[in-house]
Amino acid sequence: DAGVIQSPRHEVTEMGQEVTLRCKPISGHDYLFWYRQTMMRGLELLIYFNNNVPIDDSGMPEDRFSAKMPNASFSTLKIQPSEPRDSAVYFCASSGTGFHYGYTFGSGTRLTVV
């Protein structure tokens, strides 16, 4: 199992540009989470899906952020337009149901908006 796969690993973009982050969860996991990590705010949940349906998007900072999960094997997080304060590491994680699963995190996408 290749684990949770995120792309790109690094993204540098100019303010105002659209950014799309991608995630492939572990096959068979029915939950998918998007987190953002910064030094100031730590790990923040942005949104999570269950069986491809968004369950809680209360952590999405503003309308500039959107997330989709068109099928069980793919999700995107889009920022449009991007701003310097969006600079962070964005993690995708997936999980099955049950005590022994826990989250499996991807390696993250380091986003820098200049």
Partner 1 sequence: QQQVKQSPQSLIVQKGGISIINCAYENTAFDYFPWYQQFPGKGPALLIAIRPDVSEKKEGRFTISFNKSAKQFSLHIMDSQPGDSATYFCAASIGTASKLTFGTGTRLQVTL
Figure out which of the listed residues 1, 2, 42, 62 binds partner 1, where binding follows CB under 8 A. Answer: 42
Region of 54 on the Ramachandran plot (φ > 0 left; ψ -120 to 50 alpha; else beta) = beta
Closest CA to 8 of 83, 77, 66: 77
Q: Counting contacts by CB under 8 A, is residue 96 touching partner 1?
A: yes
Q: Which of 25, 36, 95, 113 binds partner 1 (CB under 8 A)?
A: 95
Contact status: 107 vs partner 1 (CB under 8 A): yes
Q: Which of 19, 23, 77, 91 binds partner 1 (CB under 8 A)?
A: 91
**Do residues 59 and 41 make contact, with C-beta atoms less than 8 angstroms apart?**
no
- With contacts defined by CB under 8 A, name the span among 14-22, 67-75, 77-85, 90-98 that binds partner 1: 90-98
Which of 38, 28, 107, 17 lies closest to 72, judged by CA? 28
CB of 113 to partner 1, least distance (A): 20
